[in-house]
């Protein structure tokens, strides 16, 4: 590095000092950025609300609903089967009871 | 809900970036364009563009500083500014491509003539050399940062700055 080049670098440092932006620019820019961020936040909130209206965003809720539906359906099936079993048990008991009644009646008749 | 929370933290980080580098962007735009009015416009556009792409820039920076990215946006806008001016020669052509003739900052009152010589010399340099000198001396960016801002390798940037200083030295020596 030559002596002259050092001088040029020193001159450049003096000539190209950082420039403070005017306050009017800072104010305007901050206002615009605030408006932009507020707008973006509103858009996001609106999107979150409207997302459910768009069928393309239904995949996850539908999957969840399907799981719930399947689970609920399975529960219904289990309960139906349990009821059916209960009904079957009741039917056999009724038949058993009916047969017992017949046996009792026959026995009474024979006793006479 | 988590998207909203992310948005809040992203905005806070952008605010920090803006506060830290407003002066850098403005200084770059001012020395690049040569007048306060257009420097203000370019600074404003730079931050508005930066806000739109901030999330992606942050993701792709992998923790590296975002100043070179900001200056690159300002650099591209300044390039468009010159292109637009060349299409419309009726609007303030005297400002385009000329660095400010006068500094109004108090600390530059002394040695004004010398400073004007240097600024006039910088204004005569090719665009990439001028840009590199503004980034180095007005923004105090290192070679790596300048390389990222100009989309060059570190080595090419080092050569660019060396040649810019050499050329300026010769021009000032000839006066």
Domain end (from B35, B65, B98): B98
**pLDDT by residue, tens only, chain A of 112 residues:** 445 545 899 999 999 999 999 999 988 888 888 887 777 666 656 656 666 566 555 554 444 444 334 343 333 333 344 444 444 444 545 545 555 555 565 555 555 5
Q: Give the pLDDT score at B153.
A: 97
The reply to whether B111 and B94 lie within a common domain is no
Domain that holds residue B152: 102-175
CB contact under 8 A, B11 and A37: yes
Domain end (from B55, B82, B98): B98
Cβ of residue A38 closer than 8 Å to a chain B Cβ? no
Cβ of residue B22 closer than 8 Å to a chain A Cβ? yes
pTM to 2 decimal places? 0.66
User: Among all residues of chain A, which has the CA nearest to that of B1?
Assistant: A48
Q: Using only the alpha carbons of chain B, give its radius of gyration.
A: 18
The reply to whether B131 and B63 lie within a common domain is no
The reply to whether B17 and B51 lie within a common domain is yes
Enumerate long-range contacts of B39-46, CB under 8 Å, 24 or more apart: B39/A19, B40/A21, B40/A22, B40/A24, B40/A25, B42/B74, B42/B77, B42/B78, B42/B81, B43/A21, B43/A25, B43/A29, B43/B74, B44/A25, B44/A28, B44/A29, B44/A32, B45/B77, B46/B70, B46/B73, B46/B74, B46/B77
Domain that holds residue A34: 23-54
CATH number of the CATH domain containing B56: 1.10.1740
Nearest one of B153, B137, B145 to B66, comparing CA atoms: B145
Considering A94-98, B31-35, B131-135, the range whose residues carry the highest mean pLDDT is: B131-135
The reply to whether B132 and B118 lie within a common domain is yes
Between residues B81 and A92, which one has the greater pLDDT? Answer: B81
Cβ of residue A99 closer than 8 Å to a chain B Cβ? no
Q: Which of A6, A10, A12, A32 is best to mutate for the B interface (most B CBs within 10 A)?
A: A12
Whether ipTM > 0.85 holds is no
Domain end (from B98, B133, B152): B98
Residues of chain B found within 8 Å of residue A22, distances taken between Cβ atoms:
36, 40
Cβ of residue B44 closer than 8 Å to a chain A Cβ? yes
Nearest one of B47, B51, B70, B69 to B148, comparing CA atoms: B69
Range B84-95 average pLDDT: 44
The reply to whether A77 and A106 lie within a common domain is yes
The reply to whether B88 and B132 lie within a common domain is no
| Number of domains comprising chain A | 2
The reply to whether B91 and B113 lie within a common domain is no
**A96 located within any domain:** yes
The reply to whether B28 and B79 lie within a common domain is yes
Q: Give the pLDDT score at A54.
A: 61
The reply to whether B90 and B5 lie within a common domain is yes
d(CA B125, CA B32) in angstroms, rounded, equals 12
| Number of domains comprising chain B | 2
């Amino acid at each position: 590095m030559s002596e002259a080049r050092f001088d040029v670098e020193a001159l450049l440092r003096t000539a190209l000092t950082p420039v403070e932006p005017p306050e009017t620019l800072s104010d305007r820019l901050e206002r615009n950025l605030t408006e932009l961020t507020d707008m973006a936040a509103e858009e996001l909130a609106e999107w979150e609300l409207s997302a459910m209206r768009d069928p393309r965003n239904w995949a996850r809720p539908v999957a969840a609903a399907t799981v719930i539906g399947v689970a609920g359906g399975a529960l219904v099936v289990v309960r139906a089967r349990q009821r059916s079993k209960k009904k079957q048990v009741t039917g056999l008991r009724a038949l058993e009871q009916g047969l017992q009644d017949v046996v009792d009646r026959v026995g009474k008749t024979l006793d006479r | 809900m988590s998207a909203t929370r992310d948005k809040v933290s992203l905005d806070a980080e952008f605010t920090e970036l803006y506060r830290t580098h407003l002066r850098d962007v403005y200084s770059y735009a001012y020395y690049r364009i040569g007048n306060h009015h257009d420097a203000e416009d370019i600074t404003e556009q730079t931050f508005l563009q930066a806000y739109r792409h901030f999330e992606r820039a942050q993701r792709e920076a992998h923790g590296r500083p975002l100043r070179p990215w900001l200056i690159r946006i300002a650099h591209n806008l300044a390039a468009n500014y010159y292109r637009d001016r060349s299409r419309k020669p009726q609007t303030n052509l005297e400002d385009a491509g000329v660095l400010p003739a006068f500094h109004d900052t108090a600390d530059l009152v002394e040695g004004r003539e010398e400073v004007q010589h240097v600024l006039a010399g910088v204004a005569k340099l090719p665009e990439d050399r001028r840009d590199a000198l503004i980034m180095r001396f007005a923004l105090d960016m290192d070679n790596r940062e300048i390389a990222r801002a100009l989309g060059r390798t570190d080595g090419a940037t080092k050569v660019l700055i060396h040649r810019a200083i050499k050329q300026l030295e010769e021009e000032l020596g000839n006066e």
